[in-house]
Structure 1
Amino acid sequence: MRRATVPVELVEAVRLRLAREGGEPTAAQVAAALRAEQAVLGDAEILAVARALRADLIGAGPLEPLLAEPEVTDVLVNGPRDVWVDDGLGLRRTPVTFADDGEVRRLAQRLAGAAGRRLDDASPYVDARLSGGVRLHAILPPIAPDGTCLSLRLPPRQSFTLEDLVPGPGAAALRAVVTSRMAFLVTGGTGTGKTTLLSALLSAADPRERLILVEDSAELRPVHPHVVRLETRPPNLEGAGAVTLRDLVRQALRMRPDRLVVGEVRGEEVTDLLSAMNTGHDGGCGTLHANTPEDVPARLEALAGPAGLPRMAVHSQIAAALDAVIHMTRTPTGGPRRLSQICLLRRHPSGLVEPIPALTFPPQGSPVPGPAHDAFHTRLTRHP
């Protein structure tokens, strides 16, 4: 994708001129500053260059057209000539290019600065949320030896119902999980649609319920009348002031939640979430990175380990707190995301928790009942 070429010296001169004016420059202000610095350009060329320059100054530069594509969920920059997107059907390489690694680095640093974060040789990586909910991760050389890497995760552009995401009987089963106030985790590998499905599940909750969402980055978008969002905060430049997921789970419990939701369970907060589910906060839920349902107990065990809980104590908490695992998958080549299984969690005679399939959803055809199918339907009738 070709862009109007803007000399670095001209960009810097315009940047300084606009900085003196203050505020976020409009396209007209960029054009005026550009004309003042380079009068030899014609009107049409000035406007074309002004649009590109404004994107470089306050937008995402050459990534702007990709971020505007409605189906794109991720934009990944591996180098100045190596830019990829995920549009829900898997990763694909794009024709977008940067002039050199310096341009990628400057963009990453500017985006980090816009989020109030530092990105330089002393702090060579950053994870932050930009305005509009875009999640930014960037890492600089020499940590990334092939050049600056930039990852942008876009929030959902639209809200989906369960019926939009899961065909027929699958949507009905998932809706029943929510209305029966089962405690569950949506699991799957990277990019399998866990957050999108959890948003749809929460949209099916009773409108009289109060949902408290605890997230690292606000990505859940349930369509529900009573949602309270809490978001973590990284430490400042002095290393102080951090607010963790564990802090927020504890605060959420004091806010009268009807449902406590952890956007992604990834650390010691799992112990507080399980404890809450064991003390009357039914209907709690979240997402967890796990490649198969069978991996879920071990993942929870590993996350709870640093909190000092013995292995059997962790499994006791899991068995008492969690009812079900809803597993998402996609093909190894990055094909469409889909619901794979609904499993109940049971305690084995050994004392360890294991997932038992209740319903398996093949790529084509009807759901296949599993060993826990009858127990699943019994559990669905426990609450009105």
Structure 2
Amino acid sequence: MLDGVRQWLVESGAEPTPARVAQALREQGRVLGDAEVLGAAEQLRSELVGSGPLEALLADPSVTDVLVSAPDRVWVDRGGGLELTSVFFPDAAAVRRLAQRLAAVAGRRLDDARPWADARLPDGTRLHAVLPPVAVGCTCLSLRVVRLRAFTLGELVAAGTVPPGGDRVLRALLGARLSFLVSGGTGSGKTTLLSALLGLVGHAERIVLAEDSAELRPDHPHVVRLETRPANQEGAGLVTLQDLVRQALRMRPDRLVVGEVRGPEVVHLLAALNTGHEGGCGTVHANAAADVPARLEALGTAAGLDRAALHSQLAAALSVVIHLVRDRSGRRRIAEVHVLERDPSGLVRTVPALRWGAEAFVRERGWERLRGLLHGESGESGESGGSGGSFEGGRHG
């Protein structure tokens, strides 16, 4: 029935209003009551201009991710890991139609010639889709819901992402204008934490964001947001993250932020942080804080920067790495905070300063260096541990 109505609407170019749906049903010789007509109209409206069967899931404020791997395999993440839902599509063709329509809404091409798309929908939702035969069996659709309002640091403490008292250390980090990276795996909460931290930046400061997909939404009155753009069908118009970082440097940023460091833009970011742009930050994918120098080295080498030059710039540009993990229960939390130092060979390595504790951060051997940085000292040596500082949010291990 709905296929026939859909075909009639396409051929006539009519909007899927209840009246038009009723007319389409009459054209097919069907007689239905008001409730059935309204139900058909709503289902068609959802399919043609909404997100189809996924609409109710995306409207749920507790849902952060919606993943479709088959017509009857729709998963959601509500913060406690993936859950299989009772939502289903009629067939694989319906999943493909929805993916292609959402991609078109985002201004992306998705067809047999270009079987994948990565884009941001008008409401901020992050879309990724892959069509068969690249995706075996059925179109794979991934939707990441972006909160309209950033979490506050207090809310992250209450949620267990930040340990009790840890917010004082993070506030001091922002106040000292230290450059830092938030590292972690996919879905570990890097963007959420970074948005919350940027909300602590003084309101007299100008934040310039450069992102592949505009996901950072800091609660701050002076934010400039730049977003990359893919090439059009003729191969023109490409704007890369490297381009955005270069342009951001000309926009008088007090804080330069790269949503995710994943390519040649690392060269421009490190150069910027070495030329007076204090307090810069971003996110990076890494398995542990200790792996961040190697990750940046790989990106820098691919961009043509030799190893020695990259480590020299890294040592002067970056001060702290905050690493997030997702534990077995699905909870996101700050696992460790590291500071950077050079080893005898001149290469940069990270040193654990704080690690997760249920009652507070537990101090590690790099705590004195971090404490010195937060006080505006060199960090090579510091006062003995105690609770006299305003940011003493840890305890001795």
TM-score normalized with structure 1 length: 0.93
1:373 aligns with 2:367: yes
- The 3-state SS of whatever aligns with 2:195 is helix
Percent identical pairs in the alignment equals 58
1: distance between equivalents of 2:35 and 2:170? 55
State the match for 2:20 in structure 1. 33
Any conservation in 1 of the 2:163–2:361 contact (CA below 8 Å)? no
How big is the shift at 1:382? Answer: 1.1
Q: Distance in 2 between matches of 1:161 and 1:168?
A: 14
Distance 1:139 1:347 in 2: 43
1:165-200, CA deviations, whole angstroms, 9 ceiling, x for partnerless residues? Answer: 124311111111111100000111110100000000
Do the aligned partners of 1:73 and 1:87 also contact (CA within 8 Å) in 2?
A: yes
> Residues of 1 paired with 2:167 and 2:207: CA distance?
21
Query: Does structure 2 retain, via aligned residues, the 8 Å contact 1:162–1:175?
Result: no
Residue of 348, 351, 355 corresponding to 1:353: 348
Give, in whole Å, the separation in 1 of the partners of 2:336 and 2:128: 31
SS across alignment from 1:163: helix
Counterpart CA distance in 2 for 1:355 and 1:334 is 28
Moved over 3 A (4+): none
Q: Summarize the alignment of residues 1-384 of structure 1 with structure 2, pairs less than 5 Å apart.
A: 7-17=2-12, 20-21=13-14, 25=15, 30-39=17-26, 40-165=31-156, 166-331=162-327, 333=328, 335-362=330-357, 364-382=358-376
Q: Deviation per CA, 1:84-133: give whole Å up to 9, x if none.
A: 11111111111110011000001111111111211111111111111111
SS of the aligned residue for 2:119 comes to strand
Q: Deviation of residue 48 (structure 1)? A: 1.4
SS at match of 1:38: helix
Counterpart of 2:234, as a letter, is: E
Q: CA deviation at 1:146?
A: 2.1
**Offset at residue 159 of structure 1 (A):** 2.0
Quote how far apart the aligned CAs of 1:70 are. 0.2
* CA RMSD, Structure 1 to Structure 2 (Å): 1.3
Kept in 2, the 8 Å contact 1:30–1:53? The answer is no
SS of the equivalent of 1:255 reads coil
**Which amino acid in structure 2 is aligned with residue 145 of structure 1?**
V
Change (3 A) 1:56 1:335: same
Give, in whole Å, the separation in 2 of the partners of 1:147 and 1:81.
11
Shift of 1:11: 1.6
Shift of residue 7, structure 1, vs aligned partner: 2.7
Q: CA deviation at 1:334?
A: 5.6
Structure 2 stretches lacking a partner, 5+ long:
157-161, 378-397
Deviation at 1:15, TM superposition (A): 3.5
1:375 corresponds to which letter in structure 2? Answer: R
**CA distance 1:312–1:15, change in 2 (3 Å):** same
Tell me, in whole angstroms, the C-alpha distance in 2 between the residues paired with 1:274 and 1:13: 58
Question: Is the 2:163–2:360 contact (alpha carbons within 8 Å) kept by the matching residues of 1?
Answer: no
Q: SS of 2:351's equivalent? A: strand
3-state SS in 1 of match to 2:123: helix
Residue number in structure 2 paired with 1:3: none
Name the aligned partner's letter for residue 280 of structure 1. Answer: G
Mapped contact 1:156–1:196 kept (Cα < 8 A): no
Alignment partner, residue 383 of structure 2? none
Partner SS, residue 256 of structure 2:
strand
Q: What's the CA shift for 1:274? A: 0.5
Shift, 1:163, TM fit: 1.8
Select between 7-16 and 146-155 the one with higher mean Cα deviation: 7-16
CA contact (8 A) 2:335 2:356 kept: yes
Question: Does the aligned pair in 1 maintain the 2:340–2:350 contact within 8 Å?
Answer: yes
Q: TM-score, normalised by structure 2?
A: 0.90
Residue 327 (structure 1) shift: 0.7
The residue type equivalent to 1:272 in the other structure is H
